């Protein structure tokens, strides 16, 4: 990877933005100028050759290290999938597994144009190490699950405090901490209130699963007399720092609540379709209510990749199909969900190609079959292309991939294979002992 030193510059020549052929100049990690006459000497020069330039993509909900579980268990009911396959295997994860799995996720995201991600998982200090090395941006949350047990809650509190302190000690502006109360059905009200207060004290984000299934909503009403968003709000977990994943079973009042609180809803269409949650996130209601609406892939066990170009297409199509509207979620709005809206949800400066913005830039091959003909670059990006069209990725002025080359790729792949094999072996050995 090529790090652009502070004060040095990079010049990207001849790229297409909004049907105009322009050059982009980057200085100190920010876009210094865009225009046909922009030039001058630069530390690094990238020949765009007419490539389509887009803002870097922001994946606002994933479990990055679950790349190691890709293809391990598919085509199962959600709760059976979690309780009999995913959770038992995750019990054998190590910090090294999470490091290797997160590096694999970073590689996959970089290759498909993503510059930042919002992650909830375990061993997040090791995830932070991977993100640091790969040059991406990330907001990292330890998955807080107390299962309504006081003793376990205290352990989760200590784990969260330890994770946040470790991430903050890095002093890396690309890597931020968050709290990660898993969901209303896995975290007690006491745990939710603690997460809300800790996030306020630390001025960090909240990353939570919300109203993914109808069963989650019905159970919450039966046990508490409240719908999940109301319960989270009563506990202080719905605010402008909140990214709520899924949000499939929100009603109009729920959407109004999220909008009133300035919260963000992360749409995860591929995972929702694969796990057959039987409803699409009500994008129009959320948008009309003023909530932030962004996009995420979810983890590789339920997607099974981290390609945000695929996610854009599925989001636009699922909204049209489920809500029976050909005009719902057009391409421009879909791209905004994956870029500017995602950056805002995670509290990063990015998602825009304009002077002064963070230099998060993705180049797409204009000669790829998916970009031929190029009547509308945004429509092609959303409906036609996938991540394979990405040739170059820049994050905060740092070149993460150039001409489809990512340094260290073979080592990353080999490390992930070894980690996945070791994880399965430990799980099998445990079953044999039982």
What would the mean pLDDT of 245-261 be, rounded to a whole number?
98
Taking the model in full, what pTM does it have? 0.97
State in words which class domain 57-346 has: alpha beta
pLDDT at 82: 87
246 is in an annotated binding site: no
298 is in an annotated binding site: yes
359 pLDDT more than 50: yes
pLDDT at 434: 63
pLDDT at 62: 98
349 pLDDT more than 70: yes
- Give the tens place of pLDDT for each residue, 116-163: 999 999 999 999 999 999 999 999 999 999 999 999 999 999 999 999
Q: Where are the domains of the chain?
A: 9-55+353-403, 57-346
Cβ partners under 8 Å of residue 53, min gap 6: 12, 15, 16, 17, 24, 353, 361, 362, 363, 364
What would the mean pLDDT of 300-314 be, rounded to a whole number?
97
Res. 6 pLDDT band, cuts 50 70 90: very low
What would the mean pLDDT of 286-294 be, rounded to a whole number?
98
Longest dimension (CA), the chain: 70
Task: For residue 315, give the nearest of 252, 250, 269, 271 by alpha carbon.
Answer: 269
Could you give the percent of the chain with pLDDT greater than 90? Answer: 95
What would the mean pLDDT of 338-350 be, rounded to a whole number?
97
Q: Which CATH number applies to 9-55+353-403?
A: 2.30.40.10
284 pLDDT more than 70: yes
375 is in an annotated binding site: no
What would the mean pLDDT of 220-234 be, rounded to a whole number?
98
pLDDT at 26: 97
- Give the tens place of pLDDT for each residue, 22-46: 999 999 999 999 999 999 999 999 9
- Give the tens place of pLDDT for each residue, 73-111: 999 988 898 899 999 999 999 999 999 999 999 999 999
Q: How far apart are CA 300 and CA 69, in angstroms?
A: 7
What would the mean pLDDT of 1-19 be, rounded to a whole number?
77
Asked whether 389 and 89 are in contact (CB, 8 A), the reply is no
Task: For residue 209, give the nearest of 244, 254, 240, 160 by alpha carbon.
Answer: 244
pLDDT at 78: 83
pLDDT at 141: 98
212 is in an annotated binding site: yes
H or E stretch at 378: helix 377-379
7 pLDDT more than 80: no
209 is in an annotated binding site: yes
pLDDT at 100: 98
Res. 432 pLDDT band, cuts 50 70 90: confident
332 is in an annotated binding site: no
């Amino acid at each position: 990877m090529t790090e652009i030193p502070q004060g040095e510059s990079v010049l990207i020549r001849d790229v297409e933005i909004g049907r105009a052929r322009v050059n982009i100049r980057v200085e100190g990690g920010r876009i210094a100028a865009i225009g046909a006459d922009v030039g001058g000497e630069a530390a690094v020069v990238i020949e765009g050759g007419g490539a389509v330039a887009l803002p870097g993509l922001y994946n606002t909900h994933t479990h990055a290290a679950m790349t190691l579980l890709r293809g391990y268990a598919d085509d199962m009911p959600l709760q059976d999938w979690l309780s009999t396959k995913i959770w038992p295997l995750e019990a054998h994860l190590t910090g090294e597994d999470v490091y290797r799995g997160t590096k694999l996720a970073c590689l996959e995201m970089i290759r498909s144009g993503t510059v930042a991600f919002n992650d909830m998982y375990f061993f997040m200090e090791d995830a932070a190490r991977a993100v640091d090395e790969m040059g991406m941006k990330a907001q990292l949350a330890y998955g807080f699950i107390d299962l309504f047990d006081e003793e376990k809650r205290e352990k989760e509190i200590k784990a969260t405090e330890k994770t946040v302190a470790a991430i903050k000690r890095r002093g890396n502006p690309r890597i931020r901490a968050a709290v990660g109360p898993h969901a209303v059905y896995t975290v007690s009200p006491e745990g939710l209130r603690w997460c809300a207060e800790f996030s306020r004290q630390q001025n960090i984000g909240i990353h939570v699963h919300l109203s993914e299934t109808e069963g989650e909503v019905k159970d919450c009403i039966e046990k508490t007399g409240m719908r999940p968003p109301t319960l989270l709000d009563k506990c202080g977990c719905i605010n402008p720092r909140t990214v709520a994943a899924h949000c499939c079973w929100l009603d109009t009042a729920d959407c109004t609540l999220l909008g009133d609180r300035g919260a963000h809803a992360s749409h995860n269409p591929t995972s929702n379709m694969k796990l057959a949650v039987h409803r699409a996130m009500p994008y129009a209601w959320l948008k009309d209510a003023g909530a932030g609406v962004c996009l995420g892939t979810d983890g590789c066990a339920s997607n099974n990749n981290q390609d945000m170009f695929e996610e854009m297409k599925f989001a636009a199509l699922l909204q049209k199909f489920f809500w029976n509207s050909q005009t719902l979620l057009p391409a421009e709005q879909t791209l905004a969900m994956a870029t500017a809206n995602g950056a805002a949800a995670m509290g990063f400066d990015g998602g825009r190609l304009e002077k002064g913005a963070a230099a998060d830039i993705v180049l797409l091959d204009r000669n790829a079959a998916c970009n031929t003909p190029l009547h509308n670059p945004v429509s092609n990006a959303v409906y036609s292309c996938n991540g394979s069209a990405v040739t170059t990725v820049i994050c905060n002025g740092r070149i993460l991939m150039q001409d489809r080359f990512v340094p260290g790729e073979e080592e990353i792949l080999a490390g992930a294979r070894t980690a996945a094999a070791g994880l399965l072996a430990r799980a099998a050995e445990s079953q044999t002992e039982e």
